[in-house]
Structure 1
Amino acid sequence: MAAIEDPPFSLLSLEDELTCSICLSPFDCPVTIPCGHNFCQDCLLTTWTDSYSCPQCRTLFATRPELKKNTVLSTVVETFRSRAGGPKEELRTPFGALAHGNHGHMKK
């Protein structure tokens, strides 16, 4: 019996991992917060108005955490964009694009 082969690797299979859970677009200037989750810097700063909690796991921080730019994730997103052949600003029309503007990222 022939072995079942895995389908060829597709960059599109990484799309969900490279997507901000706030704006639903590929990360733009990704930052990491202490709980380990990543978001677009502008998206996160827009959501942090009165309190500081992770939009994904809801971990509450007593003070505003220092945002650390995730340079590795940023490089991976740029590689994904160039290899996927999509425009730099947008690879797909995100669900939240209408609420957040033309390219899906939250406005300041």
Structure 2
Amino acid sequence: MVYQHCFSFMDFLFQHFSLSLLYVLCFSLLSIFILFSNFFLSLGILLLFLGFFLGINLMHNMRRQLKRIFIHVSVFFSLNSICHGISLISLLIVDQLTLSLWKFNCQKSVSPP
């Protein structure tokens, strides 16, 4: 009787384990499909139609041009950010100087002679 009860309990655990394994596999497959759908939507479905209508050579040329643009952007991004940082700092200094001169002139005009 105890053996029968233990066997049914193990059978119950195995069934639930296989069911949970099936759920895990289904959810992982679903997540892979969602990942691929997001990837293809981010690329755009129109690129697929362009490949059919315009040909694969044009698609390779477009990809090569985009790669060149991305390389230039990544090289010059640090220089652009440095220049933007310098211009923002100089703008802040000019703004602070203007504000302090304005305050000084207001205090000078308000003070008694």
Could you state the TM-score of these two structures normalised by the residue count of structure 2?
0.22
Q: Which has the bigger relative contact order, CA under 8 A and spacing at least 6?
A: 1
Q: Per residue, is there more helix in 1 or in 2?
A: 2
Could you state the TM-score of these two structures normalised by the residue count of structure 1?
0.23
